[in-house]
Amino acid sequence: MPTAVKHPLNIGTCDPERWLKKIRRAFRNTNGGLDVEPSFHIQAIDDALEGEAVAFLRSSPQLMLVVERANAYLSASSGDFLALEDALKERFAVSYKTAQTFASASAEIAQNDGESLDSYLCRVLALLRRAGGRDKPLGDNQEPLTQLKAFNLDGFIQRFVRGLHNKELIQEAIY
């Protein structure tokens, strides 16, 4: 039996492919570079799972059968191990989202379902401030807006109005 293996972080917090590689590497490091029986890998994965990953494993009769075979002392096959790995990779696949730019965020101004008008206004004003704009003048002796700034502010206002859920408010704002 292999020596104790330090488990990587919870699978739900990182890329499952890297997580599974870390478990394999940990086994090899503690066993002189040699791989171990699939049952030991399956047991280690089962021990390391937490939260949503445990619920996922327990909800699948096929995966529970794999774990039960592994717990029956070396009766799990490499096919069982690969099936468990594939299921975890598929379920916890990482989708890489690109950071939302200011331009894309401002182009998508719309009131979310169930969002109050106040919350929507605050969200749009925060976006305007992030762009370096203001909804109020700084003081009484403020210079008028340049044409470019006035154009950008007008565009924000138009997108805000078009993004409202309440069609009556849209009509009132337009006329």
Q: What is the pLDDT of residue 114?
A: 83
What is the amino acid identity at position 126?
Answer: A
Q: What is the pLDDT of residue 64?
A: 92
SS3 labels along the chain: CCCCCCCCCCHHHCCHHHHHHHHHHHHHHHCCCCCCCHHHHHHHHHHHCCCHHHHHHHCCHHHHHHHHHHHCCCCCCHHHHHHHHHHHHHHCCCCCCCCCCHHHHHHCCCCCCCCCHHHHHHHHHHHHHHCCCCCCCCCCCCCCCCHHHHHHHHHHHHHHHHCCCCHHHHHHHHC
- Within-domain flag for 146: yes
111 and 156 belong to one structural domain: yes
Q: What is the pLDDT of residue 3?
A: 44
Domain boundary among 41, 69, 91: 91
Number of domains within the chain: 2
- Within-domain flag for 165: yes
Reading the block at residue 40, the tokens are 């030991």
pTM over 0.85: no
Please write the tens of the pLDDT for every residue from 17-67.
Answer: 888 888 888 888 888 888 888 888 888 888 888 888 888 888 989 999 999
Please write the tens of the pLDDT for every residue from 86-141.
Answer: 888 888 776 555 445 555 555 678 888 888 888 888 888 888 777 777 767 666 77
- Within-domain flag for 148: yes
Interatomic CA distance for residues 126 and 31, integer angstroms: 55
| Residue range of the domain that includes 16 | 11-91
- Within-domain flag for 54: yes
